[in-house]
């Protein structure tokens, strides 16, 4: 199949065909998918005939008209009002995008479904990923679904349940004495040596497209309007970058009107390179020395997507905030016991971050705000 879309470098703006197995640009920076034309507003009406998975938005995604994706039914997750927590803190309209009900228990299902679909379509038989946890579970499952071999590099301190899930799908799991940056180096070495396709965050262009469906779904769930603010836990940043790409594409296509949401990134005080760079007015992050947090998904000391994240935060008029492990754990507990949501530490971080942002005056109590529970809490228990 010849791809109808093309690829554009997010940094040097050079373009290339999407055929084959694209990685990063020759300049080393991430490639973004560009489509020949946006879906027409009339295409909205076909949506209601389709099941609630992320592939209902197939015209927005890198999928040929005759192609079937590698899918476990990912997407279509609830956008839950949290009235009890809103009342506790005086907010008017607070919702949680509950990504823990995805296959494999997290938002990573979206990106990996898209990446595995394209890699397998281009002939890949062996895939590899470094992981802070959830991406490894997702790759293992989608690799099994596609019938291809997978290898996962994870830090030895990754929660035991996550490691057990990765193994359960038959992936070849390698534990690394280090953080995700170290896992990434090991994954790239293995890819070069074994001819495996590296589906790391932003080292191929399709995980962003899968994550874009977070933004498309929120828009549809709010009746093709967008919230005032989105508070998102940020590690590698694909979700933040993907949602911002979705909002820009929706606006360009005329599917939504009015201002786009202010995007806020929440990190841990134990690993906050984006918060630091945002505050310093920098375009890139300085790698965080000795990253440490219970929210393993936030333990990404030097994200490849730093420029794209910082651009989205600034263009949207948003910001970035760090919270302590105590704050994010307490907020997770509130989501669990006051709302019945199986919040992960990163999900708790968005609630803790919201309270910080409100205290600073960045978010108002009468804003319509969407928080994210990016994965299920059970993945972190044992």
Chain positions contacting a copy of itself, by CB under 8 A: 48-49, 51-53, 71-73, 76-78, 80, 84, 98, 100-105, 140-147, 160-161, 164-165, 168-170, 221, 336-342, 376-379, 381-382
Instruction: Give yes or no for a contact between 354 and 231, defined as CB atoms under 8 angstroms apart.
Output: yes
Q: Order of strands, edge to edge, in the sheet holding 6-9?
A: 15-17, 6-9, 31-34
Residue 102 CB, shortest distance to a copy of itself, in Å, is 7
3-state secondary structure of 365: coil
C-alpha separations of 137 from 31, 98, 113, 132, 240 in Å: 24, 18, 12, 10, 20
Indicate the residue among 282 and 338 with the shorter CB distance to a copy of itself: 338
Pinpoint the alpha helices (H) of 147-253: 160-168, 180-194, 206-221, 238-253
Indicate the residue among 55 and 153 with the shorter CB distance to a copy of itself: 55
Indicate the residue among 76 and 301 with the shorter CB distance to a copy of itself: 76
Indicate the residue among 147 and 361 with the shorter CB distance to a copy of itself: 147
The 10 Å Cβ neighbour count of residue 308 is 24
Residue 52 CB, shortest distance to a copy of itself, in Å, is 3
For the chain, how many helices (H) and strands (E)? 12, 13
Residue 11 CB, shortest distance to a copy of itself, in Å, is 34
Residue 350 CB, shortest distance to a copy of itself, in Å, is 17
C-alpha separations of 142 from 68, 181, 342, 355, 366 in Å: 14, 23, 23, 36, 40
Residue 280 CB, shortest distance to a copy of itself, in Å, is 38
Task: Give the residue carrying structure tokens 């008029």.
Answer: 317
Instruction: Give yes or no for a contact between 294 and 332, defined as CB atoms under 8 angstroms apart.
Output: no
Name the DSSP letter for residue 39. Answer: P
Residue 46 CB, shortest distance to a copy of itself, in Å, is 11
Indicate the residue among 35 and 378 with the shorter CB distance to a copy of itself: 378
Indicate the residue among 76 and 242 with the shorter CB distance to a copy of itself: 76
Indicate the residue among 24 and 109 with the shorter CB distance to a copy of itself: 109
Task: Give the residue carrying structure tokens 């949290």.
Answer: 82
Q: Taking Cα atoms as reference points, which of 362, 278, 293 lies closest to residue 133?
A: 293
Residue 73 CB, shortest distance to a copy of itself, in Å, is 3
Indicate the residue among 112 and 310 with the shorter CB distance to a copy of itself: 112
Instruction: Give yes or no for a contact between 138 and 116, defined as CB atoms under 8 angstroms apart.
Output: no
Residue 282 CB, shortest distance to a copy of itself, in Å, is 39
Query: Distance between CA 165 and CA 103 in Å, rounded?
Result: 12
């Amino acid at each position: 199949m010849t791809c109808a879309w093309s690829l554009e470098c997010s940094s040097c703006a050079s373009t290339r065909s999407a055929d084959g197995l694209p990685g990063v640009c020759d300049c080393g920076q991430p490639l973004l998918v560009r489509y020949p034309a946006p879906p027409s507003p009339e295409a909205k009406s076909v949506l209601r005939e389709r099941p609630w998975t992320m592939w209902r938005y197939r015209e927005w995604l890198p999928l040929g008209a005759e192609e079937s994706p590698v899918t476990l039914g990912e997407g279509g997750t609830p956008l839950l009002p949290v009235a009890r927590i809103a009342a506790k803190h005086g907010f008017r309209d607070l919702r949680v995008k509950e990504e823990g009900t995805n296959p494999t228990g997290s938002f990573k299902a979206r990106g990996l479904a898209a990446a595995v679909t394209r890699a397998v379509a281009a002939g890949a038989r062996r895939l590899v990923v470094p992981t802070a946890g959830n991406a490894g579970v997702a790759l293992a499952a989608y690799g099994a679904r596609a019938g291809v071999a997978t290898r996962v590099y994870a830090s030895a301190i990754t929660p035991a349940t996550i490691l057990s899930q990765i193994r359960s799908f038959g992936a070849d799991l390698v534990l690394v004495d280090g953080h995700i940056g170290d896992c990434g180096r090991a994954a790239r070495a293995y890819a070069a040596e074994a001819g495996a396709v590296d589906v790391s965050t932003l080292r191929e262009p399709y995980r962003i497209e899968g994550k874009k469906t977070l933004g498309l779904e929120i828009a549809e769930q709010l009746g093709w309007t967008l919230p005032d603010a989105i508070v998102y836990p940020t590690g590698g940043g694909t979700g933040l970058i993907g949602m911002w790409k979705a909002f820009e594409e929706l606006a360009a296509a005329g599917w939504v009107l009015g201002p786009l949401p202010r995007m806020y990134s929440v990190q841990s005080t134990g690993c906050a390179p984006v918060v630091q760079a945002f505050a310093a007015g920098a375009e890139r992050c300085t790698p965080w020395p000795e990253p440490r947090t219970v929210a393993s998904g936030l333990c990404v000391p030097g994200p490849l997507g730093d420029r794209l994240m910082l651009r989205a935060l600034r263009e949207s008029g948003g910001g970035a905030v760090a919270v302590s492990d105590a704050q994010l754990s307490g907020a997770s507990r509130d989501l669990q016991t006051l709302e019945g949501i199986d919040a992960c530490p990163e999900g708790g971080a968005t609630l803790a971050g919201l309270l910080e942002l409100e205290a600073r005056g960045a978010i108002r109590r009468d804003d319509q705000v969407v928080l994210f529970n990016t994965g299920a809490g059970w993945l972190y228990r044992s």
